[in-house]
Chains A and B, each alone.
Chain A
């Protein structure tokens, strides 16, 4: 187990900058998730840490030791690949024990470590099968098993759940998180799925265009997005953005206007909005026409046409208004997110 440090890491592919000035301190035993859209540089950063891509600049430290020039085979870092990369000609047992064989450990020790890791992942009955004889979920577990058997200083996960169906993905999220907490190994996990990021991470790192946008605990990032990109990327449905010039109703107009006028853009989480009755008088009011209702059971998402744009509101599943009718949505002033001209968050 060891801490991981990225110090001013850059990576260029020809003229394209894939990662720019990436600096991050990951504590020993911490679970950090790099999250962002495709092409944001998260996988490249992970591969640089793995030693599979040389950085164009900067340094990588593992346990305080500079490993920038150390080849991947000498880093003692285990990685679970997106396609699992299980050796197709080897059985599960051979896949799992391969790294230990390379270390020339005694056979009894290899067998014991393999059996222990297999038991943790519930793979005892699959040990003599080839990868092609396994389901997607089983392959994913074998890949994790292959990573933990080595007792590495850090785990790297490159979108390991993207090939699983939704139900299996939810189960695997919990399994990986529990395993990491049990083993206490420093983990860097890459995903574009914000649900994975929010539910698994101690801290999330939101990336965009090769740069870190925000680092923080999941709920902090959600509650106080540093900029417009983070505000719209984290949260599902994503945050509504409204120009401060829009008609924000006749509720507590003075306070709302005072806050709104200093901002270039206002953000409202869909769950901050409530459907108003005729007599309700919230801080802010958005009046519009209901265009669509997504009844998801536990919740209902309303699509409201407001000043020529669509505003989403997430309400309890019991609410089922009629499409085409005028509706009033309201929210509290403290739920308003304000951003400046450059898209940066305005506090206060």
Chain B
């Protein structure tokens, strides 16, 4: 028996009638792309876009997290209050310090380490493992360990300086001039291994015959680095710069919370921790939400600035 097919159809009518709504929709070119995108769109909608919209809404209200308390519309009052608030001013200033200090410490400092390990070839594998180890340790554990190490009463670090150099080191976490640097150094120690690995991945992509050709041209180590490795490493540096600046704000949340709780005198808090302080310590949800929106705009501005300004100066290998 032969079955007549409709012109242009690959499926017999008998077979098509047996197919359900789901199969028909999945093969319909109008709906199929949306169907495939649906799981991701659902996740993004629920966990990213809806919270963002809701945060923006909360930033225009006054609420204290109490479910029995009605949410009152407050317009842009929260933004007004935020700008005049000393905690916000201190957090903004500290955020600028965290970012500015992160560039030499977390973006540039790993480069010489990575180049050194790269130059060792296979012998560098041991160093690679050693520098990456801190990345694997939980930041909570690291913070608690450093809390002990820095304890002015018998902590290993103050005792070491006392016994070896005769220096008396007080409580650096309670000192307004040192606390932020302790957190910065701690977070640098935590991420430097990861950044070194990223730089090593970038270095591996540089063809070693370029280095040999440059040596044959008469270049010494510093010239090879300055004229070859640095320009060819710029895509990696650019990537490390972007994510370090963005994530350094979030990353230091844990040591701030465990070591200083934003103090002393708000000298270690940043915009990210400030949002937590407003929302979950003083229960001023409107102010916390307004801070979140400001933080978002700040990070968006930095990202756009970097893309516009720095992307033009990046050398990508063919």
Contacts and interface: CB of A to CB of B under 8 A. Distances in A.
Do A and B truly interact?
yes
Interface of A: 50-52, 71-74, 77-79, 81-83, 85-89, 98-99, 102-103, 130-132, 146, 150
B17 interface: no
B232 A88 contact: yes
Interface stretch (B33-41, B116-124, B211-219, B237-245): B211-219
B2 interface: no
**Most chain-A Cβ atoms within 10 A of its Cβ — which of B210, B213, B228?**
B213
Given A85-B207, A131-B318, A132-B318, A99 B217 contact: yes
Contacts of B152: none
The 6 closest A-B pairs by CB, nearest first: A132-B318, A85-B213, A89-B315, A99-B217, A85-B209, A102-B218
Interface string B180-210: 0000000000000000000000000001011
Given A83-B207, A85-B207, A88-B317, A52 B228 contact: no
A87 B228 contact: yes
Nearest to A80: B213
A278 B232 CA distance: 71
Interface string B211-231: 011111111100100011001
B216 A50 contact: yes
A74 B210 CA distance: 17
Given A88-B317, A88-B318, A73 B209 contact: no
Nearest to B231: A89
A73 B220 contact: yes
A88 B232 CA distance: 8
A87 B213 contact: yes
A70 to B, nearest CB: 12
B212 A87 contact: no
23 contacts: A52-B215, A72-B215, A73-B219, A73-B220, A74-B218, A77-B216, A78-B216, A81-B213, A85-B210, A85-B213, A87-B213, A87-B214, A87-B227, A88-B232, A88-B315, A89-B232, A89-B315, A89-B317, A98-B214, A98-B227, A99-B217, A102-B218, A102-B219
Contact of B218 (A85, A99, A131): A99
A77 B215 CA distance: 10
A155 B23 CA distance: 68
B318 A79 contact: no
Contacts of B227: 87, 98
Contacts of B212: 50, 52, 72, 79, 81, 85
B209 A83 contact: yes
Interface string B222-262: 01000110011000000000000000000000000000000
A62 B213 CA distance: 19
A50 B318 CA distance: 27
Nearest to B221: A73
A131 B219 CA distance: 20
Q: How large is the interface on B (under 10, 10 to 19, 20 to 34, 35 or more residues)?
A: 20 to 34
Contacts of B223: 102
A320 to B, nearest CB: 48
A294 B232 CA distance: 50
Contacts of B214: 87, 98
Contacts of A102: 217-219, 223
A87 B210 contact: yes
**Most chain-A Cβ atoms within 10 A of its Cβ — which of B210, B217, B227, B228?**
B217
A306 to B, nearest CB: 47
Contacts of B218: 73-74, 99, 102-103
A86 B219 CA distance: 15
Nearest to A150: B217
A98 B217 contact: yes
Contacts of A87: 210, 213-214, 227-228
A286 B56 CA distance: 95
A159 to B, nearest CB: 12
Given A72-B216, A87-B213, A87-B227, 7 more contacts: A50-B212, A51-B216, A83-B209, A85-B209, A85-B210, A85-B212, A87-B214
A83 B210 CA distance: 10
Contacts of A50: 212, 216
Contacts of A51: 215-216
Nearest to A81: B209
A183 to B, nearest CB: 17
A81 B317 CA distance: 18
A69 to B, nearest CB: 15
A50 B216 CA distance: 8
Contacts of A71: 215
Interface string B266-295: 000000000000000000000000000000
A74 B228 CA distance: 19
